[in-house]
Structure 1
Amino acid sequence: MSKPLVECVPNFSEGRDPKIIEAITNAIKETPGCTLLDVDPGKSTNRTVVTFVGDTTAIVNGAFNATKVAFLLIDMTKHQGAHPRMGALDVCPFVPVRDVTMEDCIECAKQFGKRCADELGLPIFLYEEASNRDYRKQLKQIRNGEYEGLEEKLKDPKWAPDFGPAKFIPSYGASVTGARNFLIAYNVNVLGTKEQAHRIALNVREAGRSEKEPGRLKMVKGIGWYVDEYNMAQVSMNLDNYKVTAVHTVFEECSKDARELNLAVTGSEIVGLVPLDAILMAADYYIKQENLFIIDEGQKVRLAINRLGLSACSPFDPKKRIIDYMVQEDLKVAEPLASMTVRSFIEIVGARTTAPGGGSVAANIAALGSALGAMAGWMTYGKKKFEDLDSTMRELIPPLDNLQNIQTFVNISLQMLLLKRAMKDLIPMIDADTKGFNEYVESMSVKGPQRDQAVLNALKKVVNIPLNTMRISNSIWPTMLKMAECCNINSKSDFDIGVKALELGVWGALQNVNINLVDMKDEKFKAEVQAECKVIWENTVKCSEKALAITNSRSS
């Protein structure tokens, strides 16, 4: 079972003294349950952005421990830097990553704020999702006036902290904490002046120059500044929702404005970590723009890094900068069976335990069947011997709703891509089946009047897991049939094994559905599932026989 994961991204007003930065980050590393992912200091900004993850308890402890160190070591009376700030710990957002809700993160922020107030006597403000007051919900509203204006601001009852005293602490200032969605701190490098970079920022940021003259990009905040250590200006932005305004959109818009000012753009910079999804969105954009043929995830990441110039200021290492890769070790917790070696999986299936059993094995076999189908496709594509099949393969794929963003040019590979996606969709079902069975067993121990409903809900989940294996497998039969007609016939044995493996995976999942329906009390649910299973199994048998007939006819 995967553990809940919260990301915390505290920004400390110290980017020049390595001893202070190390003391702060050590406080996080030494907190049980916290994993430090990234430390990004900036000399010109005199600010360090730290990223770490943990469960809802550990994350609060880690943030508090780091704040204690910042309270002791940072002196705001001496602080100067290019970035707006109001406290030693300036802002401390909590971000949902996995198996946690925004409400969970709001609670983390409130617990953190209360501890800072109760134990350290610090003034703490809530922002974003944790605040319910519109006039002080955004960070810029709370930070307006910055550290220099904080003493007077705290005298106004409207600006009483959410936690702690309305008291100015010269050496510390005040902090802001809250909950938000994933924010990307993103800078575009400009060979120009601070004023020119700021002019571009005014053009693109949502607030623009004024209410009457808004900017072009939604959910984007931005300013222009000059970075001495880089010897260039930057358009420095926060992307509050990269799915509304993507990283590549921001880069292209800034580049367009820079060209109009006869300025050169020399790449860009992501501060802290970035979701893999944001990088892949950029890759898909450039793939479409340039009519490229790239499917491999690693190659897509490399393309995005290159086109956005993410290594212009410092090397962009995907393993250290993409949060999905940083927490990949947790996959062993989230999917322990799928992460095992083949030997270990076989041995645990053969052990004296009820799970993992047939359901996990069925999902495994179905995933292998899909993988062999993809393999046959890759053994065809890109080989000079089979160039005459290119035009045929490009016509094989009907429009796919979830692949609309990939241009027609790469349709040659969509058969393989669909098979690979199905393969990846089936892998989690290996663990899901065992997890669902264990939860069903746990529901049997529930006491009182809630027991019957708890058992029914758990049993429905147990039924739906192998049913989903059947659905995913069934969805790729059209692709397998087309692949049978066009794939490299020298891969016939591999492909045929894949066909039979996919069939067996569906059959095995069906057996699990049927055995779990025996105790199902909801007759309507039972009838609907049985009817769907009948359709899927009949189609599976028909498609399996047809696929093998096609390859046999091609080899004779």
Structure 2
Amino acid sequence: MHQVVECVPNFSEGRDQKVIDAIATAIRDTVGCTLLDVDPGASTNRTVYTFVGDPEAVVKGALNGAKAAHRLIDMAVHKGEHPRLGAMDVCPFIPVRDITVAECVSCAKQLGHLLASELDVPVYLYGAASSRDYRKTVAQIRAGEYEALATRIKTAEWEPDFGPSNFVPQWGATMVGVRQFLIAYNVNLIATKEQAHRIALNIRERGRGKSEPGRLPAVQGMGWWLEEANMAQVSLNLTDHDVTPIHLAYEEVCKDAAALSLPVVGSEIVGLVPLRALLQVAEFYIKRDGLLVLEEGQKVRLAISKLGLSSLKPFVPKERVIEYRLGSTSSGSLVRLPTESFVRAVGARTPAPGGGSVAALLAALGAALGTMVGQMTYGKRQFEPLDATIRQLLPIVHDAMNNLLPLVDADAATFKQYMDALKLPKRTAEEEAVRDQALQEGLLKATQVPYSVVKEVNYLWPTLVQLARVCNMGTASDLQVGARCLETSVWGAYYNVAINLQGLRDTARKEELETEMKEAVRVAQEGLQMVLSALAQRKNE
């Protein structure tokens, strides 16, 4: 799996389409870069570009975009609603896949050096790339904006990290840094710019200053006027959507807007958004409103609707959700194989995929059949009195299905780690010790996946018993097959753990796992019989 870095440079041009396109072309034509999104704003006079690639490619892509901007943008005449410091205003690198923050810091420093050496422009490092606390954030560095730069840049405190310590009027300065995924999120108001800004001051983390902080951590914000839409926006940067998720920011804006008797008319996400951030939104409204929404696509649609993300222009998930734009990250994934290909892969003269992957798949299929039974009972008029019960049961089996599917690949991956350990050299005593340690770790890891299968399956039995007592009896055979699959998957997991324990020298852990797995089989056998008995009883009634 190759490394993926995301780069999101913001250029100070959002009105001249020729300039916007020229920068996009420069990035798009860089070998190894995939341009995912171009989001211009006329009022802000700023365009956000989002592209991905390996570390070397994204540095080149950012440099090529900067070269185009250097030819075409003149900051001396630039005006816009958004704060800005330079033609390429900010350029963050964001770790996406198989890459560390430290490696992204290296990308930022490479770009800073290249911008200075090839374009002779000042560059400041920020975020994880900065080593100076007083100039760690964009807000600190951009204080006073472009207009104050001519004076600030000449002071020792604000000497650039790269490039000349003199004012370059046509360019200004660029901030290059490293951050986690930032969500640029704007809430639309029929209000004045001043009213929107008042709400932003209430909400953003730093509020109105140290004596009057705002309510939401990990949030930056301001209010501005969006001329092209004839309305105001509370413009927010959510720097950590696990700390302050999108829905919380939206609801807080709505609360303050209601207090001022101002209508909220939707919102927008600028650039791309992680799938998990939209699912957080969906889960909030599902819980708050007592909804039953299971499928990922439906949850995304719910989030779009609740936030009004299509109020200014259509929010198309396949274009705006980063995971959908990147496509599958599961190259070589077993669960993504066609059924025939998977079966033939199991039947091939190779040790993996083997019994562990098959056990995990059986468990996922068993949970899927339970999900199907719930779906075939819920929402039908003749079973309407059962809707409240099914609403409680269905998410449990559906979540188990989703949790079990990745274990099909995980089992094969842990087996590969063990096989790789077997191939380690053993020519010296030191090499043999390293190899032996790797083998012991590999054996222990190989028990973890089937152990996870067992835990997930055995958690389901009470739910399946309840489902058996109320489900549409036209699906009884499906639930019987599902229950049998689940019990068999526990036996499969038991056998896989047992064979790996044979070589494990950690006696205490070995005995503990043996005891737990024997108990797991007993629980599965008992659970199966309870499901079958409940169905049989209903058939005889």
User: What TM-score, normalized by structure 2, do the two folds share?
Assistant: 0.93
**Structure 1 residue 41, shift from structure 2 partner:** 0.6
Structure 1 contact 219–239 (Cα < 8 Å) conserved:
yes
The one-letter code sitting in structure 2 at the alignment partner of 1:179 is: V
CA distance in 1, matches of 2:42, 2:125: 28
Tell me which of 448, 464, 470 is aligned to 1:464: 448
Does 1:353 pair with 2:380? no
State the number of aligned residues.
534
Q: Aligned ranges for residues 499-538 of structure 1 at < 5 Å?
A: 499-538=483-522
Structure 2 contact 202–208 (Cα < 8 Å) conserved:
yes
The one-letter code sitting in structure 2 at the alignment partner of 1:30 is: D
Does 1:330 pair with 2:328? yes
Does 1:429 pair with 2:407? yes
Q: Aligned ranges for residues 439-518 of structure 1 at < 5 Å?
A: 439-447=417-425, 448=431, 449-518=433-502
CA pair 355-236 structure 1, distance change in 2 beyond 3 A: same
Structure 1 contact 190–235 (Cα < 8 Å) conserved:
yes
Further displaced range: 493-502 or 125-134? 125-134
CA pair 167-510 structure 1, distance change in 2 beyond 3 A: farther
* 1:362 match: 359
* 1:399 match: none
**Structure 1 residue 422, shift from structure 2 partner:** 1.0
Instruction: Write the deviation string for residues 264-294 of structure 1: whole angstroms up to 9, x where unpaired.
Output: 2211111111222322332333334434333
**Structure 1 residue 89, shift from structure 2 partner:** 1.2
Instruction: Write the deviation string for residues 286-319 of structure 1: whole angstroms up to 9, x where unpaired.
Output: 3344343333333332222222221111111122
> Secondary structure of 1:229's match?
helix
Tell me which of 369, 374, 383 is aligned to 2:371: 374
CA pair 390-414 structure 1, distance change in 2 beyond 3 A: closer
Does 1:420 pair with 2:398? yes
Does 1:33 pair with 2:11? no
The one-letter code sitting in structure 1 at the alignment partner of 2:25 is: N
CA pair 459-25 structure 1, distance change in 2 beyond 3 A: farther
The one-letter code sitting in structure 1 at the alignment partner of 2:150 is: E
CA distance in 1, matches of 2:423, 2:166: 53
Structure 2 contact 190–263 (Cα < 8 Å) conserved:
yes
Structure 1 contact 185–271 (Cα < 8 Å) conserved:
yes
* 1:544 match: 528
Further displaced range: 75-84 or 65-74? 65-74
Instruction: Write the deviation string for residues 58-109 of structure 1: whole angstroms up to 9, x where unpaired.
Output: 3333323322332333222232221111112111112233333333333332
Tell me which of 384, 389, 400 is aligned to 1:387: 384
**Structure 1 residue 27, shift from structure 2 partner:** 2.9
CA distance in 2, matches of 1:4, 1:460: 28
Instruction: Write the deviation string for residues 331-375 of structure 1: whole angstroms up to 9, x where unpaired.
Output: 342x62111111111122222222222221111111001100111
* 1:266 match: 265
* 1:340 match: 337
> Secondary structure of 1:476's match?
helix
Instruction: Write the deviation string for residues 439-487 of structure 1: whole angstroms up to 9, x where unpaired.
Output: 2222222232422222222222222122222222222122222222221
CA distance in 2, matches of 1:363, 1:19: 54
The one-letter code sitting in structure 2 at the alignment partner of 1:136 is: R
* 1:401 match: none
Root-mean-square deviation over aligned CA pairs: 2.1
> Secondary structure of 1:294's match?
coil
Structure 2 contact 294–398 (Cα < 8 Å) conserved:
no
CA distance in 2, matches of 1:291, 1:483: 20
Quick one: percent identity of the two aligned structures?
Answer: 52
* 1:166 match: 165
CA pair 371-96 structure 1, distance change in 2 beyond 3 A: same
The one-letter code sitting in structure 1 at the alignment partner of 2:224 is: W
CA distance in 2, matches of 1:349, 1:21: 51
Q: Aligned ranges for residues 167-316 of structure 1 at < 5 Å?
A: 167-316=166-315
The one-letter code sitting in structure 2 at the alignment partner of 1:157 is: A
> Secondary structure of 1:279's match?
helix
CA distance in 1, matches of 2:491, 2:255: 56
CA pair 284-554 structure 1, distance change in 2 beyond 3 A: same
**Structure 1 residue 499, shift from structure 2 partner:** 0.7
> Secondary structure of 2:229's match?
coil
Structure 1 contact 331–339 (Cα < 8 Å) conserved:
no
Further displaced range: 500-509 or 524-533? 524-533
> Secondary structure of 1:253's match?
helix
CA distance in 1, matches of 2:259, 2:235: 19
CA distance in 2, matches of 1:61, 1:527: 55
CA pair 141-499 structure 1, distance change in 2 beyond 3 A: same
CA pair 534-110 structure 1, distance change in 2 beyond 3 A: farther
CA pair 390-170 structure 1, distance change in 2 beyond 3 A: closer
Q: Aligned ranges for residues 80-159 of structure 1 at < 5 Å?
A: 80-159=79-158
> Secondary structure of 2:228's match?
coil
* 1:405 match: none
Further displaced range: 114-123 or 147-156? 114-123
**Structure 1 residue 390, shift from structure 2 partner:** 4.1
The one-letter code sitting in structure 2 at the alignment partner of 1:107 is: S
Structure 2 contact 184–270 (Cα < 8 Å) conserved:
yes
CA distance in 1, matches of 2:349, 2:58: 38
CA distance in 1, matches of 2:135, 2:194: 29
> Secondary structure of 2:400's match?
helix
Structure 2 contact 494–518 (Cα < 8 Å) conserved:
no
CA distance in 2, matches of 1:451, 1:115: 43
> Unaligned stretches of 5+ in structure 2?
426-430
User: What TM-score, normalized by structure 1, do the two folds share?
Assistant: 0.91
**Structure 1 residue 517, shift from structure 2 partner:** 2.2
CA distance in 2, matches of 1:268, 1:390: 33
**Structure 1 residue 137, shift from structure 2 partner:** 0.8
Further displaced range: 222-231 or 125-134? 125-134
CA pair 527-49 structure 1, distance change in 2 beyond 3 A: same
> Secondary structure of 2:14's match?
coil
**Structure 1 residue 258, shift from structure 2 partner:** 2.5
CA pair 4-507 structure 1, distance change in 2 beyond 3 A: farther
The one-letter code sitting in structure 2 at the alignment partner of 1:444 is: L
Further displaced range: 148-157 or 95-104? 95-104
CA distance in 1, matches of 2:402, 2:291: 24
CA pair 465-259 structure 1, distance change in 2 beyond 3 A: closer
The one-letter code sitting in structure 1 at the alignment partner of 2:328 is: D
* 2:428 match: none
CA pair 267-545 structure 1, distance change in 2 beyond 3 A: same
CA distance in 1, matches of 2:201, 2:444: 54
Structure 2 contact 360–405 (Cα < 8 Å) conserved:
yes
Further displaced range: 446-455 or 45-54? 446-455
> Secondary structure of 2:199's match?
helix
> Unaligned stretches of 5+ in structure 1?
394-411
CA distance in 2, matches of 1:65, 1:18: 18
CA pair 441-62 structure 1, distance change in 2 beyond 3 A: farther
Structure 2 contact 37–271 (Cα < 8 Å) conserved:
yes
